[in-house]
Amino acid sequence: MIKTDKVLDAKGLACPMPIVKTKKAVNDIQPGEVLEIQATDKGSTADLKAWAEKGGHQYLGTTEEGGILKHYLRKATIGEEKAETNYSVLITNEELKIKLEKNEDIVLLDVREEAEFLFNHIPGALSIPLGELEDRLHELDKESRIFVVCRTGSRSDLASQKLTEKGFTNVTNVVPGMSEWHGPTETVN
């Protein structure tokens, strides 16, 4: 058993709520202490890992017991912390819908988990879950106009920052994302 200083119950919550609750819980523990986040959302592993890295916290790992994911995060000490940033190049769902209707030459990158994508996605979108993005960068052209979408804009924000850090020059985060998308969608059978 891993020794933790605090346990956070995020079971039954979907993105972005495990991250929102984790941010609050991290504020309540001391630097160097370990937080256990219990979640059922399979996407929470990639989300928490990316969020921890972005803030300078240490993502220690994840175990699974009976369908419950237990994520372990060590709060950054003074000097390790990074100022939290948000990706600044944004587009609304409606603006994206217009670009798609005009058949503009863009890459629509969906960074939600595979199951989310299979049941509902924008036609023509490329599925690369956030947790696989770093290993699959070779599938993307650094010069392409890439529009990144997720369910609420949180994972796509992290993905947009990661792409930019890796040298992609024309990346845009779509907000608020699929949770409020009113354009065409399709399902993979």
Q: Is pLDDT above 90 for 22?
A: yes
Note whether residue 83 is domain-resident: no
Q: Which of 22, 50, 74 is the last residue of a domain?
A: 74
pLDDT over 70, % of the chain: 100
Report, as residue numbers or ranges, the catalytic residues: 15
* Cβ-based burial of 60 (10 A; exposed 0-12, middle 13-18, buried ≥19): middle
Model pLDDT, residue 68: 97
- Is the distance from CB of 46 to CB of 131 less than 8 angstroms? yes
Note whether residue 81 is domain-resident: no
Note whether residue 167 is domain-resident: yes
Note whether residue 119 is domain-resident: yes
Domain of residue 139, CATH code: 3.40.250.10
- Bridge pairing between strands 126-127 and 171-175: unpaired
Domain of residue 33, CATH code: 3.30.110.40
- Residue 121: count other Cβ atoms within 10 Å of its Cβ: 21
What residues make up the domain containing 30? 6-74
Model pLDDT, residue 78: 84
Q: Are residues 97 and 23 in the same domain?
A: no
Q: Which of 41, 74, 107 is the last residue of a domain?
A: 74
Q: Are residues 122 and 174 in the same domain?
A: yes
* More confident of the two residues 124 and 188: 124
Q: Are residues 12 and 54 in the same domain?
A: yes
DSSP 30: -
Model pLDDT, residue 189: 76
Model pLDDT, residue 24: 95
The Cα–Cα gap between 112 and 7 comes to: 26
Query: Considering the entire predicted model, what is its pTM?
Result: 0.76
Q: Are residues 67 and 118 in the same domain?
A: no
Q: Are residues 47 and 123 in the same domain?
A: no
Over the stretch 103-149, which tens digit does the pLDDT of each residue have?
Answer: 999 999 999 989 899 999 999 999 999 989 999 999 999 999 999 99
Q: Are residues 53 and 16 in the same domain?
A: yes
Q: Is pLDDT above 90 for 67?
A: yes
Q: Are residues 100 and 129 in the same domain?
A: yes
| Overall domain count for the chain | 2
Note whether residue 1 is domain-resident: no
Q: Is pLDDT above 90 for 83?
A: no
What mean pLDDT comes out for the span 20-25? 95
CA distances in angstroms from 106 to 50, 161, 184, 189, listed in the order given = 25, 18, 17, 25
Q: How confident is the model at residue 79 (pLDDT cuts 50, 70, 90)?
A: confident
Model pLDDT, residue 1: 72
Q: How confident is the model at residue 10 (pLDDT cuts 50, 70, 90)?
A: very high
Note whether residue 40 is domain-resident: yes
Q: Are residues 49 and 113 in the same domain?
A: no
